[in-house]
């Protein structure tokens, strides 16, 4: 019998087994050890999506993707090592991120994740769908990452839902938002959903218990939204169909902004002012109107003092929060109290995602308060939103809908050319406000329609032609027969809004000045002495022998003059533009002696238009 020392026998056995199993080891264990975190979708949009996965090895990765499983394209991953501050571990860990851009809207894409040419997650049915127009649904949960049986049960229900994406209101991982905690209580539990649907989270207070939420930032890729570089990933915004979503960080960035050391509040103001979407939905962790355990939370007080006034200025319809481990839905709130009409904001606390529950005491601001585990199912269709709070057993613990009524800015209807309040019969005008139309729509034919995207405008009961409607603006035309005071009414499926205005004999306004062939007068193409110009105008008053809808060469009944600097010019023609009744054109010859930039206006009868700066050649 051949003898070996004990150490030699163990080495011989290990070497022999290693040699015998080497091919199988390379085929299976290499893949398993490479994939430390399964692929998940982030930041889906109308033409883009982000795919992230994590490995223990630093090797080249890519995503291959296709919309028809036939023509496949590939995109290389950007790889970086996770730092010790992110993972609290000296074991190597590499983050791979692929940005897919140039995608088609409302389209399902299939994808595979590869490392050194081998699929890391074969046979898992990886796919995602881009954003588009029309109705959509999304899910909302908060305070989930406890690893409880309730979290797992709700996660299974979430995975069975049909949705476009998932919103999380914070406290993704307990107790302290660690890197390993994200894997255990976030990615692993929601793996089947995250490989197909993007999660759009906001950080809770437990995220900040590890390195100021550094692990949270390390595992997410959020939309680029003009956020200052120092705050990138902590707050952001994105659009989906006719809705604008804003994720706020109600932790350190709120404290810093409230004390003048941060920029989040000014960013929020600008972001809301810039959106033209119908729905404005904001979510963050700390509820501004807590009624339970956190009613004295200073961060909730900061949110109430500094964020709520911004929401009310810009007509935010819904705010979603967490922090209170229960379900609460407020009455419409404005100015810190229940609103007398439907113009207030609805605040929904959805903090029952799996953590231990808190009491939900009654409060005059709250319509519903229940200490139950749950998530939200929300469907948006035009200017209607339907919300269900779904409990552990699948029953709805609350069900409500929102249909925001239109609101007209106090300035009322404005002259479409001058932007002033002056209007006359036949003039084109704009109404500004909120909730005016569910989405943008433009008239595509003549005669102009009197209803567009479910919106109509009437003057003293007579429907008006519509050129354009949107959530924030409507462009229309006053009847030629109208006179005196008229009542304008905007009517939508959700309700109506009214404003009064008094018409003048003339209310001139200049749109543009151009050459007869259509070239605009600009600094690079200035007007020259002796050439003919056309000023396109609005509100020059009645025309001779013209009725509503005629498109003949109808001339203005009132006297019309063109004033350029100190020079008055009598036009050769002032009346309707052929084929476009209501749009006036004023043809005039440029006098000599004008150079540089000159102020130009049009006088019709006794009314004078807005002043327009016009460039004249210097030689």
The answer on pLDDT for 15 being more than 60 is: no
Same domain, 144 and 177: yes
The answer on pLDDT for 30 being more than 80 is: no
Mean local confidence (pLDDT), 332-350: 93
pLDDT band per the 50, 70, 90 thresholds, residue 155: very high
**282-304 per-position pLDDT tens digit:** 999 999 999 989 999 999 999 99
Q: Which of 269-273, 412-416, 443-447, 561-565 has the lowest mean pLDDT?
A: 443-447
pLDDT given at position 16: 40
Q: Which of 402, 434, 469 is the last residue of a domain?
A: 402
Q: Do residues 420 and 431 touch, judged by C-beta distance below 8 A?
A: no
Backbone angles phi, psi at 360, to 5 degrees: -125, 80
Residue 604's CB is within 10 A of a number of other CB atoms, namely: 27
Element housing 156 (H / E): helix 149-160
Residue 377 lies in a domain: yes
Same domain, 189 and 77: no
Distance CA 74, CA 64 (A): 4
**Token pair for residue 118?**
């081998």
The answer on pLDDT for 320 being more than 90 is: yes
Same domain, 267 and 278: yes
Element housing 14 (H / E): helix 6-34
- State the CATH number of the domain containing residue 584: 2.60.40.10
The answer on pLDDT for 10 being more than 70 is: no
Mean local confidence (pLDDT), 432-437: 96
The answer on pLDDT for 590 being more than 90 is: yes
**Token pair for residue 261?**
């050391």
Q: Do residues 266 and 256 touch, judged by C-beta distance below 8 A?
A: no
- State the CATH number of the domain containing residue 352: 3.60.21.10
Same domain, 524 and 463: no
Residue 19 lies in a domain: no
pLDDT given at position 597: 94
Residue 21 lies in a domain: no
The answer on pLDDT for 116 being more than 50 is: yes
Distance CA 347, CA 318 (A): 6
Q: Do residues 575 and 481 touch, judged by C-beta distance below 8 A?
A: no
Backbone angles phi, psi at 229, to 5 degrees: -55, -40
Residue range(s) defining the domain that contains residue 457: 407-502
Backbone angles phi, psi at 270, to 5 degrees: -65, -40
- Between 122 and 496, the more confident residue is 496
pLDDT given at position 223: 96
The answer on pLDDT for 547 being more than 60 is: no
Residue 1 lies in a domain: no
- State the CATH number of the domain containing residue 92: 2.60.40.380
Residue 61 lies in a domain: yes
Same domain, 368 and 424: no
Find the angle CA(436)-CA(165)-CA(455) to the nearest 5 degrees: 15
pLDDT given at position 242: 97
pLDDT given at position 571: 97
The answer on pLDDT for 96 being more than 60 is: yes
- State the CATH number of the domain containing residue 413: 2.60.40
The answer on pLDDT for 587 being more than 60 is: yes
Mean local confidence (pLDDT), 20-25: 31
Mean local confidence (pLDDT), 457-466: 96
Local structure of residue 590 (DSSP, 8 states): P
**Count helices and strands in the chain by DSSP H and E runs:** 10, 42
Q: Do residues 250 and 284 touch, judged by C-beta distance below 8 A?
A: yes
Count up the domains in the chain and report the number: 4
Q: By percentage, how much of the chain surpasses pLDDT 70?
A: 93
Same domain, 124 and 139: no
The answer on pLDDT for 1 being more than 60 is: no
Same domain, 109 and 240: no
pLDDT given at position 487: 96
Same domain, 139 and 164: yes
pLDDT band per the 50, 70, 90 thresholds, residue 13: very low
Residue 339 lies in a domain: yes
The answer on pLDDT for 583 being more than 50 is: yes
pLDDT band per the 50, 70, 90 thresholds, residue 108: very high
Mean local confidence (pLDDT), 434-452: 94
The answer on pLDDT for 23 being more than 50 is: no
The answer on pLDDT for 245 being more than 80 is: yes
pLDDT given at position 386: 98
The answer on pLDDT for 29 being more than 60 is: no
The answer on pLDDT for 484 being more than 90 is: yes
pLDDT given at position 552: 53
Mean local confidence (pLDDT), 391-397: 96
Q: Which of 446, 478, 502 is the last residue of a domain?
A: 502
Residue 26 lies in a domain: no
Same domain, 542 and 481: no
The answer on pLDDT for 3 being more than 60 is: no
pLDDT given at position 69: 87
Distance CA 219, CA 180 (A): 11
Distance CA 308, CA 335 (A): 8
Same domain, 197 and 306: yes
pLDDT given at position 341: 79
Q: 439-450: b or e for each residue (b if 16 or more CB lie within 10 Å)?
A: bbbebeeeebbe
Q: By percentage, how much of the chain surpasses pLDDT 90?
A: 87
pLDDT band per the 50, 70, 90 thresholds, residue 17: very low
pLDDT band per the 50, 70, 90 thresholds, residue 445: confident
Same domain, 417 and 532: no
pLDDT given at position 446: 83
Same domain, 199 and 292: yes
Residue 279 lies in a domain: yes
Q: How far apart are the first and last CA of the chain?
A: 114
pLDDT band per the 50, 70, 90 thresholds, residue 340: confident
pLDDT given at position 293: 92
3-state secondary structure of 299: helix
Mean local confidence (pLDDT), 27-55: 81
Q: Which of 12-21, 356-365, 372-381, 409-418 has the lowest mean pLDDT?
A: 12-21
Q: Which of 132, 149, 173 is the last residue of a domain?
A: 132
Mean local confidence (pLDDT), 362-374: 96
- Between 21 and 360, the more confident residue is 360
Instruction: Look over the chain and give the mean of its residue pLDDT values, rounded to a whole number.
Output: 92
CA 398 centroid distance within chain: 26
């Amino acid at each position: 019998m051949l003898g070996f020392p004990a150490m030699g026998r163990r080495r011989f056995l290990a070497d022999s087994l290693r040699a015998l199993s080497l091919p199988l080891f390379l085929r299976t264990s290499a893949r398993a050890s490479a994939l430390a975190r399964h692929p998940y979708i982030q930041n889906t949009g109308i033409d883009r999506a982000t795919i992230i996965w994590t490995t223990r090895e630093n090797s080249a990765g890519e995503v291959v993707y296709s919309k028809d499983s036939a023509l496949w394209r590939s995109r290389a991953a950007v790889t970086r090592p996770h730092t010790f501050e992110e993972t609290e571990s000296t074991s190597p860990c590499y983050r791979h991120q692929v940005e897919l851009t140039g995608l088609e809207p409302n389209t399902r894409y299939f994808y595979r994740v590869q490392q050194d040419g081998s699929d890391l997650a074969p046979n898992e049915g990886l796919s995602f769908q881009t954003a588009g127009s029309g109705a959509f649904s999304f899910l909302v949960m908060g305070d989930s990452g406890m690893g409880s049986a309730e979290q797992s049960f709700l996660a299974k229900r979430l995975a069975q839902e049909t949705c476009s994406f998932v919103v999380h209101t914070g406290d993704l991982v307990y107790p302290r938002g660690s890197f390993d905690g994200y894997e255990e209580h976030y990615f692993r539990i929601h793996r089947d959903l995250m490989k197909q649907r993007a999660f759009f989270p906001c950080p809770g207070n437990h995220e900040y218990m590890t390195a100021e939420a550094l692990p949270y930032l390390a595992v997410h890729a959020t939309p680029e939204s003009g956020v200052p570089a120092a705050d990138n990933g902590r707050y952001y915004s994105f659009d989906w169909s006719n809705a604008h979503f804003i994720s706020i960080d109600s932790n350190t960035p709120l404290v810093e902004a409230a004390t003048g050391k941060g920029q989040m509040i000014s960013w929020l103001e600008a972001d809301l002012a810039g959106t033209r979407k119908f729905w404005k939905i904001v979510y963050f962790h700390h509820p501004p109107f807590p009624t339970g355990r956190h009613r004295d939370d200073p961060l909730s007080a900061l949110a109430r003092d500094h964020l709520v006034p911004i929401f009310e200025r810009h007509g935010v319809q819904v705010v979603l929060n967490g922090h209170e481990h229960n379900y609460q839905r407020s009455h419409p709130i404005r100015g810190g109290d229940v609103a007398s009409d439907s113009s207030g904001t609805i605040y929904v606390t959805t903090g029952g995602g799996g953590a231990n529950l808190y009491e939900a005491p009654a409060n005059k601001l709250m319509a519903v308060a229940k200490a139950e585990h749950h998530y939200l199912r929300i469907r948006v269709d035009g200017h209607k939103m339907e919300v269900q709070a779904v409990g552990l057993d699948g029953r709805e613990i609350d069900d409500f809908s929102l249909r925001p009524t239109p609101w007209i800015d106090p300035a009322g209807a404005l002259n479409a050319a001058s932007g002033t309040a002056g209007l006359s019969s036949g003039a084109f005008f704009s109404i500004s406000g909120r909730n005016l139309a569910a989405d943008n729509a433009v008239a595509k034919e003549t005669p102009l329609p009197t209803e567009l995207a479910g919106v109509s405008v009437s003057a003293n009961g007579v429907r008006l032609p519509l050129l354009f409607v949107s959530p924030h603006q409507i462009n229309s035309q006053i009847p030629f027969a109208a006179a005196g005071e008229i009542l304008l009414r905007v009517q939508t499926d959700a309700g109506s809004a009214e404003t009064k205005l008094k018409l003048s004999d003339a209310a001139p306004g200049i749109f543009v000045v151009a050459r007869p062939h259509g070239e605009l007068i600009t600094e690079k193409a200035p007007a020259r002495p002796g050439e003919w110009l056309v000023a396109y105008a609005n509100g020059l008053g009645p025309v001779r022998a013209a009725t509503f809808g005629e498109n003949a060469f109808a001339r203005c009944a009132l006297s019309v003059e063109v004033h350029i600097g100190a020079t008055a010019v009598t036009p050769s023609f002032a009346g309707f533009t052929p084929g476009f009744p209501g749009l006036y054109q004023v043809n005039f010859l440029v006098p000599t002696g004008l150079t540089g930039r000159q102020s130009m206006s049009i006088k019709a009868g006794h009314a004078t238009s807005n002043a327009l700066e016009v460039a004249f050649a210097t030689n």
